[in-house]
A and B are shown apart, each in its own frame.
Chain A
């Protein structure tokens, strides 16, 4: 059985924990604590402080181990640690919250310093009326042309799977080169 490590990252409240919860074959490991900062509490009650972890068997030869990071920049040391050995990563962004785009840009820049692994952007909450289209999000974030920005609904298994399979194809293409 081959194991591939994939990191799921993105700014606060982008839907990273949900993404892993939706697809994992095992009960995911979560490290949620109550949110105390008022500005963060406006978005959700609990937040990941160390990691989320889940696994998904792609077939009988390949398993993905998903490591979700905390979102807040004050936890960026965990980004470095969780990125060790990762062959690719997903940057999640809430399509309805353009206010989080600058933070997302900083996160993308930081990850590019941490690892050379390829990534895809998952534009989450595309089932929401207020969701901005992936093409617009790509422009606003300044995502490189060869990096996909994929529509995503983190609560929908088929959608999460599509994001992971797209990332896998990119990883496979790199390995072949």
Chain B
């Protein structure tokens, strides 16, 4: 039986395979901001991205609460050189996905949702 971390890495690898080159990197992160499995590219710091991703989730939950629009299902940041997605993965963790600029967002969103669900079940 593969360890929890190996299982999560397998989910992330599957996401990267299914989404093709659109996904540049991905990490599974605890709500405490500490990554427990990551396939981020070498030029980004996983620790820093994990801390920031958890903070994005914290702020977004707050937005959902203040506006009474419910719980966050997906956060997409569109920047001028790429995209960044954060999704809850179960109750205790989240999936952060780094995308290239012209990514097929429709496909990636579907794949990322499946991956986040799978990670949530493993955690």
Contacts and interface: CB of A to CB of B under 8 A. Distances in A.
A65 B47 contact: yes
Contact of B62 (A29, A65, A67, A77): A77
A53 B59 contact: no
Interface residues of A, number: 19
B59 A26 contact: no
Given A50-B59, A77-B62, A78-B58, A85 B32 contact: yes
| Interface bin, chain B | 10 to 19
A158 interface: no
Nearest to A78: B58
B55 A86 contact: no
Contacts of B32: 5, 84-86
Given A65-B47, A85-B32, A53 B58 contact: no
B34 A85 contact: yes
B31 A53 contact: no
A118 B33 CA distance: 19
A82 interface: yes
A86 to B, nearest CB: 7
A55 B47 contact: yes
A67 B62 CA distance: 19
Interface of B: 30-34, 45, 47-48, 51-52, 54-55, 57-59, 61-62
